[in-house]
Chain A
């Protein structure tokens, strides 16, 4: 596709349920990031993939959150036993492979998935 695609756009779930959020990055982009944006706040980093592996998962808030990228393209963010505090917009971004200092590559963001836990 032309841009980063995230599905679903909106997800309403009951407290305690399991949810999966999908991100389809720009073709050829090997770097993929997940961020969480709470109302009125800036995005907060969750996890970074370079290819299939999670290179940095330091932003995942607890072990209820998990993300995979099995084939180095599509990624799924999984949240177990959802809590009302998990309600936020979950953003995915992708970029070309980061190759070294000074070689910043622009991160392109999807429109996000708005998760509401009731």
Chain B
């Protein structure tokens, strides 16, 4: 059972454009929603994260929009740059002592930003 569904699988954006990646989750117990960026041959790195008590969080060019009732959240990358070309993963976790911050990941979106 895939608990976090991510789309699109791949995305091509022109430099300066807006990249939008969407995720939907099933488990209403999830209470922490991070986005990770992964470059080839590297491990994922935390980009930005949100908790369900807010509907939006912005850090620089990156914004998470969160819709608790729809169980959906999305990543917006404004003014996309070629250096943003990477694979992006949404994730979710349910905080509890026995599992810490065990993450459930989406399947990833490969973003290519054309110059």
Closest to B36 in A: A109
Q: How large is the interface on B (under 10, 10 to 19, 20 to 34, 35 or more residues)?
A: 20 to 34
B104 touches A45 (CB 8 A): yes
Partner of A111, one of B41, B91, B97: B41
Interface residues of A in 75-118 (CB under 8 A from B): 91, 93, 95, 98, 100-102, 104-112
B41 touches A107 (CB 8 A): no
Residues of A within 8 A of B95 (CB): 98, 100-102, 104
A42 at interface (Cβ–Cβ under 8 A)?
yes
B31 at interface (Cβ–Cβ under 8 A)?
yes
A56 touches B108 (CB 8 A): no
Residues of B within 8 A of A98 (CB): 95, 97, 100-101
B13 at interface (Cβ–Cβ under 8 A)?
no
Partner of A45, one of B51, B98, B103, B108: B103
Extra contacts besides A4-B43, A42-B106, A55-B99 (20): CB < 8 Å: A31-B100, A31-B101, A33-B103, A40-B107, A42-B89, A43-B105, A45-B104, A55-B98, A55-B100, A56-B100, A91-B44, A98-B101, A101-B31, A101-B96, A104-B32, A104-B51, A106-B46, A107-B46, A109-B43, A111-B42
Task: List residues of chain B with CB under 8 Å of any chain A CB.
Answer: 4, 6, 31-32, 41-46, 49, 51, 89, 91, 93, 95-108
- 6 pairs of A and B residues whose beta carbons are closest in the complex: A109-B43, A42-B105, A98-B100, A56-B99, A101-B95, A42-B89
